[in-house]
Amino acid sequence: MNPVNLGKGEENMHTDGNGRDWEAIRTDFPLLAREVNGKPLIYFDNANTAQKPIPVIAAVDGFYRRHNANVARAMHALGAEATDLYEDARERLAMFFNVRAEDLVLCSGTTFAINLVAYSWALPRLRPGDTILVSRMEHHANIVPWQLIAERTGARIAVAEILPDGRLDLDALRKAMTPDVKLLAVAHVSNVLGTVNPVRDICREARRHGIVTVVDGSQAAPHRKVDIAAIGCDFYAVTGHKMCGPTGTGALWARKEHWRSMPPFIGGGEMIREVRFEGTVFNDPPYRFEAGTPNIAGFAGLGAAVDYLDSVGLDRIAARESELLAHATEELNRIEGLRILGSAPGKAAVISFLIDGAHAHDLATLLDLEGIAIRSGRHCAHPLLQYLGVAAACRASLAFYNTHEEIERFVAAIQKARRLLG
């Protein structure tokens, strides 16, 4: 599907160094044109969820207008169309991540995906004395499932610590890869610090030690090219709504040998081949792990989202976002009393920050009055904020459709809020 309004080659339009028309790309996102509190919206909460371009909205709308039926079960034309759309999304996601479609389980998002690994891979395997290594910078979705499994199995949780600039301490991580460690859970990109972890090197090292790796790709997939095959992990989880797709969509990739050895996590329709009261024969992966009616319209939208991201170009998106990040960081660093959490080289466009004497929620509320959406709080990463000694922080997270002018308005609004907060 072709995205609308890419406006390539048109005259008299602002273009960036890549020759792409970012202003026109921005008009693909209708919500960005609205006002909030009487001011033009500035949406800087992209790490929370991304906005949706017209092709995604059209795909969801088109599904309900023209194709709505259930997948797999129906022997009629609409059922076949719905099934095709759903399977097509799997194929497109697989191409996007450079993996095989049959190794990709579609699910509701990263939270479900990591729980699937926890209950289906880890629960039957882990024993007392085993260790689950989790990085300090994980989102709760990559901490709490492991705690639940540790409680049930007698395994323990160990923490891979970070350095002052927000990088993972790779020397410490290497030393922590002792024989008792069975699983390593690590984010590709931190949702608080913006740190981009060298997951390829980490997974290679873990593999040498026989440690299974679970990479949380929630914050990576929408912002840079992710080649799961090249990373060499065991499991990779993504969530569709952060990739400009609908909420309630996502995927878990695993190596074929893991899928083959994993029992089902949730039972019901779609995941079986034959059911008798004496026992059930399960379907093959990936269907074995997709019980019940999926979010078919959502996956039609997610298929359109990956096409859209591809058409804009992941390398261009990454370059655009790092340019916006550099601008925002420079401007914010000029504000007295403002401290940014995380300055790892090559970090993603996620800026968590604090201002002396201003509570994060107060600041976010004042910015909202200016039409600016940021997140404030603990960002589903309590252990990280505890470690940093921070009760709550603001977070501005940028996307390719944001602009330099928005950054300037944002900085001016912070200055104004700071004066008001005294």
Q: Catalytic positions, please? A: 380
Dig out the tokens for 78 from the structure.
């609409």
| Residue 239 near ligand PLP by CB under 6 A | yes
| Residue 219 near ligand PLP by CB under 6 A | yes
| Residue 145 near ligand PLP by CB under 6 A | no
User: Exactly one of 21, 28, 216, 234 binds ligand PLP (CB under 6 A); which one?
Assistant: 216
Q: Report the residue number, 131 or 191, with the smaller CB distance to ligand PLP.
A: 191
| Cβ 234 vs Cβ 212: under 8 Å | yes
State the DSSP string of 311-335: HH-HHHHHHHHHHHHHHHHHHHHTS
Q: How far is the CB of 142 from ligand PLP (least distance, A)?
A: 6
DSSP letter for 162, please: B
User: Exactly one of 46, 51, 83, 111 binds ligand PLP (CB under 6 A); which one?
Assistant: 111
Location of structure tokens 């209708």: 30
> In this chain, which stretch among 14-22, 148-156, 216-224, 343-351 interacts with ligand PLP, using CB under 6 A?
216-224
Cross-strand pairs, 215: 186, 236
Dig out the tokens for 37 from the structure.
């509190």
> In this chain, which stretch among 79-87, 214-222, 307-315, 403-411 interacts with ligand PLP, using CB under 6 A?
214-222
User: Exactly one of 90, 136, 139, 347 binds ligand PLP (CB under 6 A); which one?
Assistant: 139
Q: Report the residue number, 25 or 306, with the smaller CB distance to ligand PLP.
A: 306
Restricting to residues 162-191, name those near ligand PLP by CB under 6 A. Answer: 187, 191
Size of the site for ligand PLP (CB under 6 A): 15
User: Exactly one of 46, 51, 83, 110 binds ligand PLP (CB under 6 A); which one?
Assistant: 110
> Cα 300–6–317 angle (5° rounding)?
75
Q: Report the residue number, 83 or 190, with the smaller CB distance to ligand PLP.
A: 190
Q: How far is the CB of 379 from ligand PLP (least distance, A)?
A: 8
DSSP letter for 63, please: I
Rounded to 10°, the helix 77-97/296-312 angle is 40
Q: How far is the CB of 381 from ligand PLP (least distance, A)?
A: 8
- HEC string of 350-394 equals EEEEEECCECHHHHHHHHHHCCEECEEECCCCHHHHHHHCCCCEE
Query: Per-residue string for binding with ligand PLP, 26-65, x by CB under 6 A?
Result: ---------------------x------------------
Q: How far is the CB of 37 from ligand PLP (least distance, A)?
A: 25
Residues 6+ apart with CB under 8 A from 68: 78, 82, 296, 297
Whether residue 286 is preceded by a cis peptide bond, meaning omega within 30 degrees of 0, is yes
Dig out the tokens for 313 from the structure.
């170009």
Q: Report the residue number, 3 or 109, with the smaller CB distance to ligand PLP.
A: 109
State the DSSP string of 253-289: EE-HHHHHHPPPSS-STTSEEEEETTEEEEPPTTGGG
Chain residues in the site for ligand PLP (CB under 6 A): 47, 109-111, 139, 141-142, 187, 191, 216, 218-219, 239, 241, 380
